[in-house]
Amino acid sequence: MSQRLLSLLCLLPWLASPLALAEPVPLFANPVYDRNFPDPFVLPAAGGYWAYATNGNGHQVQLAYSCDLVRWEARPDALPTLPAWAASGHTWAPEVLPVAGRYLMYYTARDRATQRQCVGVAEADAPQGPFRDDRDGPLVCQPDEGGSIDASAVRAADGSLYLYWKNDGNAVGQPTWLYGQRLGADGKTRVGRPQRLLRNDTAWEGRLIEAPTVFAADGRYYLLYSANDYAGSRYAVGYAVADQPLGPYTKAAGQPILASEGEVSGPGHQSVAVDAEGRHWLFYHAWTQGLEGDPRGRRSLRVDPLRFDGARLQRVHTSLAPQPAPAVPSDSNCPASAPPAWVTSSPSDVGAP
């Protein structure tokens, strides 16, 4: 037997191994959208993913599209025209929920009548809009408590709809609370009375609590929130858990679960998306280090895995290093080849996400 044939026979078991046959693992690195894109919300819809953000770059509501949760491209203004009750230049924290074949956007804007930030609701036929708000006034407004901001809507396990928001108490020297209230089936009417769910009552939260995000997992409701000064390095993310959409919610120990780390400063105003394999991912913005709150800085879009330890959420470690990308559906419309910003690696080179 020739030496060449012997060498080939020795290689056959390795060539048939899963390691040799496995596809390269796609990796990505943060930030995934390196422009000023604060208060991000990510929605899976229409065969892809849509990210909405606070006004900036000439848009009332910034919009970006991705086929895989990590490669994002800018799209036109999702809310190009504000209603008569709202003044321009203060359109914050938009979130979108599909309801009855349409898309509802809950957003914050400056109410002309009260000169406070209040919550509006706009509608569109498609996730990219254009959204339109034809109401005569805001959906939620608490001028006596500083206003209402950071609305987030969720569909519970039984199909009922709920809205969460923050009273903007820190704008007028009052306490800040996270509120919750049931919505009607149309997603545009409030049912019953709002309930106070959480307030800033621990040291790391500083003088305010805001940006509620609720998602369900394993029969529990997780209420994520941001706290402290958004324009500084102490801004961070915590969470509380409940058995029902309106609580009572209990804050977890060992908070916050996402905070400044290394070159990543002031991470917060989070949202959660689930990939094709059922894994949860935490989207958030973070500042350019050293330029927190500075107009020359930016709050870019970032994402990291959100992992569970039983009923608890594990601490999220911010990273700038390459890491395994979210799984995409087999029928994804993503291009087959990775762009230069991506890198690929064999499965032996990286750990599981």
Closest by CA to 116, choosing from 140, 136, 97, 133, is 140
Return the amino acid letter for 193.
Answer: R
For residue 6, the surrounding DSSP H or E stretch is: helix 3-15
Instruction: Give the active site residue among 95, 123, 150, 210.
Output: 210
Neighbours of 353 (CB within 10 A): 16
Buried-exposed string 298-325: b where 16+ CB fall within 10 A, e elsewhere: bbbbbbbbbeeeeeebeebebbeebbbb
State how far the alpha carbon of 128 is from the alpha carbons of 223, 305, 341, in Å. 26, 26, 25
The CA distance from 211 to 198, in Å, is 12
Identity of the residue numbered 234:
R
| Catalytic residue selected from 39, 77, 133, 150 | 39
Does the annotation mark 39 as catalytic? Answer: yes
Residue 208, CA atoms < 13 Å, CB-side half-sphere: 25
Cis? peptide before 130, omega within 30° of 0 = yes
Cβ distance 236 to 258 under 8 Å? yes
Cβ neighbours for 106, distance < 8 A, ≥ 6 positions apart: 94, 95, 96, 97, 119, 120, 121, 139, 151, 152, 153, 163
* Contact in structure between 163 and 151 (CB atoms under 8 Å): yes
Q: How is residue 266 annotated by DSSP?
A: E
| Rounded Cα gap, residues 214 and 94, in angstroms | 15
Q: What is the CA radius of gyration of the chain?
A: 22
258 touches 316 (CB < 8 A): yes
Please report the sign of the dihedral spanned by the C-alpha atoms of residue 326, residue 331, residue 337, residue 339: negative
CA distance 178 to 208: 10
- Active-site positions? 39, 210
